[in-house]
Amino acid sequence: MHPERNLFGFLQHSLLETCGVLGIGTKIVVSSELTIDHGLRGESKVIATCRHVGASVYINPSGGVDLYSRETFAEHGIDLKFLRPVEIRYRQLGDDFVPWLSILDVMMFNSVDEIRGLLTNGFELE
């Protein structure tokens, strides 16, 4: 089966297209293509992935605060940080603003420059 015809292929393509529209040039690496021990799970797998690509900082959404230990990452020379979203506001249809929707909603109602500003100011790094 062609990769673009499965869910992963669809999601990867969508992510790459969204990044392209927004001018985000971050290199995206597919972890399953890395030569690491894929039997590892959780924190151990993330650390192995970071070490494989030479990362000195790993940024995870704030939901991972209870999953990952800064001390364990530091033991491997990796600075663990958490990205916490702050509420953003923009004009949507109607008078009632609905927060915390997807990037697709943000893209429907904002210019590329406005989106870049929201992404730049819409998160705190802890």
44 and 70 share one domain: yes
Q: What is the pTM of this model?
A: 0.79
Domain count for the chain, please give it: 3
Question: With the CA atoms of 122, 105, 114 and 58 taken in that order, what torsion angle do they form, in degrees rounded to the nearest 10?
Answer: 40
78 and 101 share one domain: no
39 and 76 share one domain: yes
Mean pLDDT in the chain? 91
68 and 96 share one domain: no
At 24, is the secondary structure helix, strand, or coil?
A: coil
Range of the domain at 13: 1-32
14 and 26 share one domain: yes
DSSP string, 56-103: SEEEEEGGGGGT--HHHHHHTT-EEEEEEE-------SSSS---S--H
Has residue 64 got a pLDDT over 80?
Answer: yes
38 and 76 share one domain: yes
93 and 112 share one domain: yes
Q: How far is CA 15 from CA 41, 71, 103, in A?
A: 24, 31, 11
| Bridge partners for 58 per DSSP | 80
126 and 91 share one domain: yes
* Residue 1 pLDDT level (bands cut at 50, 70, 90): low
Has residue 94 got a pLDDT over 70?
Answer: yes
Query: Exposed, middle or buried by CB within 10 Å (0-12, 13-18, 19+), for 46?
Result: buried
Tokens of 21: 């529209």
